[in-house]
Copies of this chain bind each other. A is one copy, B any other.
């Protein structure tokens, strides 16, 4: 199951190295992690890996289309292996947790602007901001009202 990384790397024209396999292993277990968390986790299997190596690996992986980088406002970049399906994200304002949202259209750009102003649009990036289940509970316990604002069902 994990030797598949080897093929994916080689097919992408990349050499198979221990830093790359470690990072891929971390990404497989934890979707939506930042570079620092990846470095810490990767060190468990490859203790001598340097922070810069992690950046280098992530750049190689994203460049080759094996990983995806997202940058939710207010935090460091996050990486994931789920690529090529144009999915979107839910981000919790309370704790930063990120969850995947399937795109109902499937292919980019899944939305088209009402007026594209001359732009050739190739991607519609959608981030849903709100509170995760845990943070809703935590907030209501501390006296705040739970704001359950839901709009119509358009899908995304």
- Chain A interface residues toward B at CB < 8 A: 70-71, 73-74, 77, 88, 90, 92, 99, 101-105, 107-133, 136, 146-156
Contact = CB atoms under 8 A, between A and B. Distances in A.
Nearest to A121: B130
A99 B120 CA distance: 12
A102 B9 CA distance: 42
Nearest to A124: B128
Nearest to A127: B125
A96 B109 CA distance: 19
A103 B111 CA distance: 12
A41 to B, nearest CB: 23
Contact of A150 (B77, B103, B112, B115): B112
For the residues of A in contact with B, the DSSP-based class is loop
A25 to B, nearest CB: 25
A19 to B, nearest CB: 24
B102 A116 contact: no
B146 A119 contact: no
Contacts of A112: 150-156
Contacts of A90: 113, 116-117, 119, 121
A111 B124 contact: no
Contacts of A71: 71, 73-74
B115 A102 contact: yes
Given A101-B115, A126-B126, A150 B131 contact: no
A155 B3 CA distance: 44
